């Protein structure tokens, strides 16, 4: 396996612009009238927000849609002249007006709404359920990566169906991109899970998945070695959530769990190049008790064993 190239900012810009062109063509966003409705894209977006909202002011519309106040004002004035919207004094601030669709406005929006739903249904109609799930996941990933507001909180949950395959895939891809590790590391991950999961028992084994907006962003496991010894395994975090304290939290969960189950020692295996993880282990009180240079995963590394007395 060759090391996966990391795209440059220029390549990323080109890919984003290419996807944007594809998306706009698919939805006909450059047509003179969106979905043959007579409304332009921005007008349709405003109508949609008003149809879905309860009490919206011009200030809220500007914020939610990222529109210039003057541009929005001209569109709202046009809507008002056509009888599509009404205005009333905002109860919280008399200087502002609550904007709502009139019956005529809802009647004008209804065919546009139906046409939009039919358009999307025609694009996904031949997709299998698994493909629809992939599509939703991909769109959620794009939104999460490109969103500039505060990210959704991360939650820890137990492992469930589908997590193990994803964890193997992501660790293999990430460690290839970051450290140049080859396919033998992916094979090792698969072997570890193949040995670990059939014997996994919540009475003495624990696992935590980091989830954000429905996406898996990391994991860690702690499993029984003997009545006295537990092993911390497979700690990983996606780059987007590193440096947030989640690594320390995951290791802390393993230590708490091991103490509750009566283990006296936690051990783990790592490599010298995994500096951020080693720092977390050291801060949690682990110490390196053995180190051995070796050739592994297509690289010269130092294999290390760490332990923590509970």
225/83 Cα distance (integer angstroms): 73
148 in helix, strand or coil? coil
User: Whose structure tokens read 């999460």?
Assistant: 144
* Model pLDDT, residue 34: 61
Determine the CATH number of domain 9-146: 1.10.10.10
Taking 50 as the pLDDT cut, the residues of the chain under it are: none
* Model pLDDT, residue 283: 94
277/304 Cα distance (integer angstroms): 12
* Sequence ranges of the domains in the chain: 9-146, 155-309
The residue among 171, 129, 151 whose CA lies nearest residue 214 is 151
- Classify the phi-psi angles of 294: left when phi > 0, otherwise alpha if psi is within -120 to 50, otherwise beta: beta
304/290 Cα distance (integer angstroms): 6
198/243 Cα distance (integer angstroms): 33
Would you tell me how many other CB atoms lie within 10 Å of the CB of residue 139? 10
**Cα dist from 233 to 72, 88, 172, 287, whole Å:** 54, 60, 15, 16
Cβ contact 256:308 at 8 Å: no
Q: What is the pTM of this model?
A: 0.65
- Classify the phi-psi angles of 202: left when phi > 0, otherwise alpha if psi is within -120 to 50, otherwise beta: alpha
* Model pLDDT, residue 3: 66
May I ask the CATH architecture of the domain 155-309? Answer: 3-Layer(aba) Sandwich (3.40)
Residue-wise pLDDT tens digits, 68-83: 888 888 988 988 899 9
């Amino acid at each position: 396996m060759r090391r996966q190239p990391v795209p440059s900012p220029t390549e990323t810009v080109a890919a984003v612009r290419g996807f944007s062109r594809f998306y706009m063509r698919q939805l006909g966003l450059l047509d003179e009238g969106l979905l043959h409705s007579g409304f332009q894209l921005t007008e349709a977006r405003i109508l949609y927000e008003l149809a879905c909202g309860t009490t919206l002011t011009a200030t809220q519309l500007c914020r939610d849609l990222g529109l210039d106040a003057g541009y929005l004002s001209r569109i709202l004035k046009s809507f008002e002249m056509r009888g599509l919207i009404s205005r009333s004094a905002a109860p919280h601030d008399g200087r502002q007006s609550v904007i709502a669709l009139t019956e005529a406005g809802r009647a004008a929006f209804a065919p546009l709404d139906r046409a939009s739903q039919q358009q999307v249904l025609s694009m996904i109609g031949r997709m299998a359920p698994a493909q629809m799930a992939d599509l939703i996941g991909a769109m959620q990933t794009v939104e999460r990566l490109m969103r500039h507001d505060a990210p959704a909180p991360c939650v820890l949950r137990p492992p469930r169906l589908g997590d193990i395959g994803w964890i193997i895939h992501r660790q293999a891809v990430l460690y290839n991109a970051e450290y140049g590790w080859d396919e033998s590391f992916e094979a090792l991950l698969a072997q570890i899970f193949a040995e670990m999961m059939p014997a996994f028992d919540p009475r003495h084994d624990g696992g935590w998945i980091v989830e954000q907006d429905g996406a898996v962003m990391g994991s860690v496991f702690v499993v029984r070695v003997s009545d006295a010894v537990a092993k911390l395994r497979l700690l990983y975090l996606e780059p987007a959530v590193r440096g947030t304290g989640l690594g320390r939290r995951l290791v802390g969960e393993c230590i708490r769990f091991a103490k509750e189950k009566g283990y006296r020692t936690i051990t783990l295996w790592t490599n010298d190049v995994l500096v951020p993880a080693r720092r977390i282990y050291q801060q949690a009180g682990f110490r390196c008790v053995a180190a051995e240079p070796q050739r592994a995963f297509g690289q010269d590394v130092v294999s290390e064993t760490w332990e923590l007395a509970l």
